[in-house]
A and B are shown apart, each in its own frame.
Chain A
Amino acid sequence: MNKEAAKELMLKMADDALIYGHRLSEWTGIGPILEEDIAFSSISQDKVGHAWQLYQLLEQDFGMPDPDRLGFERKESEYKCSQLNELYTRDYAFALIRHFFMDHAEFIRYSLLRASSYESLAQLAKKVRGEIKYHVLHADTWVKKLGAATEESHSRMQAALNEAFPYALGLFEPGPFEQELIDSGVFIGEGQLQAEWLDEIRPIIEESGLQLTSNTEAITGGRSGNHSSDLAPLLEEMSEVICSEPGASW
């Protein structure tokens, strides 16, 4: 196994889960209905759990710093999350569309990783996939509901989709070790993932009465540490407690 390649893959997955998890947690206490409040909080908790597990593997198998330091104490340019996940949450429609794009991609990614030659990651993937299944179920329910409910809900969902789609395509931005990952059987590659993802989401979007914009160009950069202006304030917020007392034990 090419260690640098596997490390790169895991780090971007972990960063995606952590940053996305944090964005989801912003609904805790302010969800539009109590059940949604609980749903977003639960999904957020799962995501932060996934990030933690991945950071832990990075520490255990690759000698990287411990999960807290990896999660909270890196420079902005060292984070490999996609820009889709760091964008501030415009409104509920945007939150749902991002959730829909992201969790379908995650579900397929972890499904494919079950066959990874990196055994610890394959074992974790089996577990994580079972959890994401519930996240996808939640996203689909609401996208279908609000895509076709009223004129306002439809137009807000469509506007959110139009804005988020180029960023969602950025989820599949190839990393520097794409070919190594494929050759060593660690991961089948972002290209294959994107193709399966499009096949999966298209019929659901159609059923919801929404439309995917054609000839959309991906907004990339996150995987190489080039982020939108929304990430810095988010990281500052996330690490506020840790930075208030550096080195404290909890």
Chain B
Amino acid sequence: MLGAGRQLVKNPMDMTQESIEKIKEIWQALKGVEDPEIPVISIVDMGIVTDVTIDETGRVMVEMTPTFTGCPAIEVMKKGIEKKLSELGVKDYRVALNYKTTWTSNRITEEGRDKLEKFGLGRPASHEGEPGMEAIASARCPHCGSENTTLKSVFGSTLCRSIHICHDCRQSFERFKPV
């Protein structure tokens, strides 16, 4: 099993000041790794990175959870993380993909949602664990901000997008699906 046999330092009380600083630095650096399908938003804002830890041997572990199981961008993101870690001078690291934390669109930060909208992608509606039909169908138009929109298709140009029409500015738009 992933991570089995290695004692991860989870409790901040057990960590050296040095490790705490290093972890902060890594989180900051990972904000520079983009989601290749939406290059305006970082994998941190997307909520794809779930944990950064350093074990007693000094090895860095970055854990990530995919947005969609068939997401073709995940390998690119993994390589992006590895590159960043090397740039920071981290020699011993492991980037692991797992489902310990389930990715949902609720994980996208507020800053991330703003960036999506500026990019022209409607923001996903927040939901309580599971999006109902209401959350799936109702979307705010990223062009004019109108809520007077209709769901056209739940499948868009990538796995994470649905297609909607705005009745006010009369344009169609894509929106990040609530999942």
Contacts and interface: CB of A to CB of B under 8 A. Distances in A.
Interface of A: 35, 38-39, 41-43, 45-50, 52-53, 60-61, 120, 123-124, 126-128, 130-131, 134, 137-138
A137 B137 CA distance: 11
Counting chain B CB atoms within 10 Å of each CB, the highest count among A38, A124, A127, A137 belongs to A127
A130 B102 CA distance: 10
A52 B102 CA distance: 17
A-B pairs with the 7 shortest C-beta distances? A49-B70, A123-B99, A49-B69, A42-B155, A39-B155, A45-B70, A35-B153
B86 interface: no
Interface of B: 1-2, 65-66, 68-71, 98-100, 102-104, 130, 133, 136, 152-157, 159, 163, 177, 179
Given A45-B70, A123-B102, A131-B68, 15 more contacts: A35-B152, A35-B155, A38-B156, A39-B153, A41-B155, A42-B159, A43-B155, A50-B69, A61-B1, A120-B1, A124-B99, A130-B179, A131-B159, A131-B179, A134-B179
Contacts of B133: 137
A49 B100 contact: no
Contacts of A138: 154-155
A60 B99 CA distance: 14
29 contacts: A35-B152, A35-B155, A38-B153, A39-B153, A39-B154, A39-B155, A43-B155, A45-B159, A46-B159, A47-B70, A48-B70, A49-B69, A49-B71, A52-B70, A53-B69, A60-B1, A61-B1, A123-B99, A126-B102, A127-B65, A127-B66, A127-B69, A127-B102, A130-B130, A130-B179, A131-B69, A137-B133, A137-B136, A138-B154
